[in-house]
Amino acid sequence: MKKILLLLIMFVSGQIFSQATYTSAGDGNWNSSAFWTVTSDTDDDSDGVPDSNDNVVIEHNITVVGSRSCSTLQLNYVDGKKLTISGNGASLTVAGTTTNSGEILVTGGSAANPATLTLNGNLSNFGPIQINSGQRLVMASGIDVTATNPITIKSNSNSHGSFYFTGTWTKAGASGVINYNRHISNLSTWDLISVPVSDLSISSFAQGETDLATNGAQYAIGTYTNTTAAASAGNTWQNYTTGTAPSAGNFTPAKGYQMAAKGTNSGSGVGAEMTFSGKPNTGTKSISITNAETGNGSDNDPADGSRFNLVGNPYPSFISVSAFLTANSSILGNGFEAVYGWNGSSYTTYNSASGAYIAPGQGFMVGADSGSATLSFTTGMQSTGNTSMDDFISGDQLEDRAELFLGYSSSEYSNKTEIYFLENTTDLLDTAYDAVTIDFDHNNGIHTRLLDGSSDNRNFVIQSLSYSEMNDKVIPLVINGFANEEFSVSILHRTTPADINIYLEDTFLNTITNLKDEDFVLNPISDLSGAGRFYIHLTEDTMSTIDVSSNLLNAYKDANSDFITVEGLSSQEGIVNISLFNILGSKVLKTSFDNSLNQRVISTQAISQGIYVIELESSGRRVTKKILIK
């Protein structure tokens, strides 16, 4: 009875086969039975090729296309022979141990559809393994490597190979390392990088890397210091030299560095692969970050970058921006729950709304909250969920989600502001979903302000709003530009519903432009700055100038400034009268501005410290706000 029951279970499941050992019989495709011989036991599924329950021995050129799997994998050395996983989406998954005494190559997939080798058992590596640009080697959590020969991961200007590893690395010989060949831009743009190995000497790297740019005794490897003293002395960026590199020790995991390859020619793809050799970083990597904005007046200028710290992905794999921000949100500044990546000319911002992934060895800026704190990277942040293998690439798109990217372009500068519509976000400041601009980046271009009418007067490069409230949404724009410098505002990217129109309102010129039909173009007669003149309207209706009357009149004083900023003057019909009252109700200042400029300032240098009330009056409308002068 038991025997009959066992046979019945085997028959019903259809999944129990005997384990066979397949040995390669010639050069060819894994999927063809002509290139395999069963050398041990029998294979009940009788398709003639190894499957997930079979052991595999390779002694020829075998190529995997499509998706294949096996129980264990052994490569024996035969001169010139190797296992190749090749092509879009090609994959080989090994359930048990892998012993490589031959050669393995992962190649041929596109950056959007990489080839992947997945090892779910320990690896003994006696021969070379190469992961080409845009391809992946994924090792299951806690799986160990004993290495006599190297694993080489390559990259180029727009795709990066990746190695996912959380276990223990045993270096069994001098060559038992990973070689991460990271593409580095040249001197025309530089790059921000982080080194994905734990034991690489800065001096040895600088002396041995022939593609590294130099200038006399100076190497094109540098660090960033965010103290106000360094900023005032012009020493925030400091490069290593032949004199300082020998005592610099090893590259620090999770620390960011600036770096450049030889050559100054500009253009896409210009640069070189530089080799970072050593044991891969594993486990939690932590680094101290500081907010050095602790002085007063000019010693506490947010534009000098004293809040920001240069850090980087310490792993040879992609990590999730969202996971990184979630783990570190308590130590990042309010509104600065984001990462700021260098794109060669300016900083681009990423947060949980953009759903991005950070490439292996990628450096970036973060804004600290206050004082000093410890920022951490964990192997749990590693993710294979990215649908591209480039630097700072976006993740999968979710339902109930729309995106609107607006671009600013002039002859001198271009940038963009990103607006996301997500069900879990609001008009208020949403942690890790709204991001202010990086203070010391170029301040011209286009930004947005929060919609909630709060006292947050900062410019946002990413703003997230409710998807269900998209219709009839009015978003304040900040456009900073110079007089007589023509610029345009256009839609760079849009996934909003087709029936939603997108209008840009200019309250000063009393114009409204449907950006879905044409760009907004302006040659301003005076410098542009501050909020209150320009707005974005999203509506299903067709609009004209008689349908809108946007109005933002605002006054504020930044803690580090010695002036009060009044903005939104362009949206007023005429003169704006301004009065400042002390806590006893006595008027200590009175002035007025016309609407020819959108933003003006009032000096507070001659006014005593204390709490004041500022009153703005225009055409019978009054706005009052508390102002702290110190």
414 with 517, same domain?
yes
Count CA atoms within 13 Å of residue 529 on its CB side.
13
pLDDT of residue 283 exceeding 60: yes
559 with 538, same domain?
no
Question: Cα dist. 372→239, 368, 378 in Å?
Answer: 24, 8, 20
Angle at 117 between CA 268 and CA 130, to 5 degrees: 55
Does residue 513 fall inside a structural domain? yes
The four Cα atoms 401, 349, 159, 176 give a dihedral, to 10 degrees, of -120
pLDDT for the residue numbered 75: 98
Give the residue from 547, 564, 597 where a domain finishes. Answer: 547
Percent of the chain at pLDDT > 90 equals: 67
State the average pLDDT over residues 490-498. 96
Closest CA to 223 of 268, 256, 194, 186: 256
pLDDT for the residue numbered 162: 96
pLDDT per residue over 96-129, tens digit each?
Answer: 999 999 999 999 998 789 999 999 999 999 999 9
210 with 310, same domain?
no
Does residue 7 fall inside a structural domain? no
φ/ψ of residue 328, rounded to 5: -120, 10
Question: Cα dist. 546→347, 381, 477, 542 in Å?
Answer: 39, 51, 20, 11
pLDDT for the residue numbered 88: 95
> Residue 526 has what DSSP assignment?
S
CA distance from start to end of the chain: 91
483 and 527 Cβ atoms separated by less than 8 Å: yes
With a CB cutoff of 8 Å and minimum separation 6, the contacts of 140 are 118, 119, 120, 121
Angle at 164 between CA 160 and CA 165, to 5 degrees: 140
Binning pLDDT at 50, 70 and 90, where does residue 297 land? very low
State the average pLDDT over residues 389-402. 66
198 and 279 Cβ atoms separated by less than 8 Å: yes
Pick the most confident of 100-104, 412-416, 546-550, 553-557: 100-104
How many C-beta atoms surround the C-beta of residue 131 within 10 A? 30
Closest CA to 93 of 62, 148, 48, 138: 138
Binning pLDDT at 50, 70 and 90, where does residue 293 land? confident
State the average pLDDT over residues 406-428. 94
Q: b/e for 381-391, b at 16 or more Cβ within 10 A?
A: bbbeebebbbb
Amino acid at 436: V
Q: What is the mean pLDDT of the chain?
A: 89
pLDDT of residue 394 exceeding 90: no
> Residue 332 has what DSSP assignment?
B
φ/ψ of residue 380, rounded to 5: -65, -15
Does residue 8 fall inside a structural domain? no
The Cα–Cα gap between 418 and 445 comes to 13
pLDDT per residue over 41-54, tens digit each?
Answer: 888 777 899 999 99
170 with 307, same domain?
no
118 with 139, same domain?
yes
State the average pLDDT over residues 590-611. 89
512 and 552 Cβ atoms separated by less than 8 Å: no
pLDDT for the residue numbered 270: 83
Angle at 332 between CA 329 and CA 335, to 5 degrees: 95
**Beta strand pairing call for 473-480 and 531-539:** antiparallel
Amino acid at 282: T
Give the residue from 360, 394, 428 where a domain finishes. Answer: 394
pLDDT of residue 247 exceeding 50: yes
Label each residue of 362-419 as H, E or C. EEEEEEECCEEEEEEECHHHECCCCCCCCCCEECCCCCCEEEEEEEEEECCCEEEEEE
The Cα–Cα gap between 301 and 584 comes to 31
The Cα–Cα gap between 379 and 143 comes to 13
pLDDT for the residue numbered 439: 66
pLDDT for the residue numbered 3: 45
State the average pLDDT over residues 187-209. 96
Query: Does the pTM exceed 0.85?
Result: yes
357 with 420, same domain?
no
**Beta strand pairing call for 55-58 and 72-75:** parallel
pLDDT for the residue numbered 533: 94
The Cα–Cα gap between 547 and 173 comes to 75
412 with 380, same domain?
no
313 and 362 Cβ atoms separated by less than 8 Å: yes
Percent of the chain at pLDDT > 70 equals: 91
pLDDT of residue 604 exceeding 70: yes
**Beta strand pairing call for 136-139 and 393-394:** unpaired
Report the domain count for the chain.
Answer: 4
458 with 563, same domain?
no
Task: Give residue 179's domain range.
Answer: 19-215+248-278
User: In this structure, what token pair is assigned to residue 341?
Assistant: 């990546």
Binning pLDDT at 50, 70 and 90, where does residue 282 land? very high
552 and 539 Cβ atoms separated by less than 8 Å: no
254 with 364, same domain?
no
User: In this structure, what token pair is assigned to residue 511?
Assistant: 């114009």
Does residue 1 fall inside a structural domain? no
The Cα–Cα gap between 77 and 80 comes to 9
378 and 367 Cβ atoms separated by less than 8 Å: no
Torsion region of 278: left, alpha or beta (phi above 0 gives left; psi -120 to 50 gives alpha): left
pLDDT of residue 558 exceeding 90: no
What CATH number is given to the structural domain containing 608? 2.60.40.3080
State the average pLDDT over residues 150-179. 96
609 and 583 Cβ atoms separated by less than 8 Å: no
Does residue 567 fall inside a structural domain? yes
Question: Cα dist. 44→50, 54, 70, 73, 112 in Å?
Answer: 11, 11, 15, 20, 37
pLDDT of residue 268 exceeding 80: no
Rg over alpha carbons for the chain, rounded to the nearest Å, is 30
257 with 301, same domain?
no
Amino acid at 381: M
pLDDT of residue 468 exceeding 70: yes
Question: Cα dist. 568→19, 506, 534, 561, 602 in Å?
Answer: 76, 11, 9, 19, 15
pLDDT for the residue numbered 5: 43
Does residue 432 fall inside a structural domain? yes
Closest CA to 203 of 238, 247, 258: 247
The Cα–Cα gap between 350 and 416 comes to 12
The Cα–Cα gap between 377 and 315 comes to 9
Does residue 222 fall inside a structural domain? no
pLDDT for the residue numbered 16: 53
User: In this structure, what token pair is assigned to residue 515?
Assistant: 């950006």
pLDDT for the residue numbered 177: 98
pLDDT for the residue numbered 534: 95
Binning pLDDT at 50, 70 and 90, where does residue 22 land? very high
Give the residue from 394, 416, 435 where a domain finishes. Answer: 394
pLDDT for the residue numbered 553: 82
319 with 451, same domain?
no
pLDDT for the residue numbered 263: 80
Does residue 483 fall inside a structural domain? yes
304 with 413, same domain?
no
pLDDT of residue 560 exceeding 90: no
pLDDT for the residue numbered 12: 41
pLDDT per residue over 511-530, tens digit each?
Answer: 999 999 999 999 999 999 99
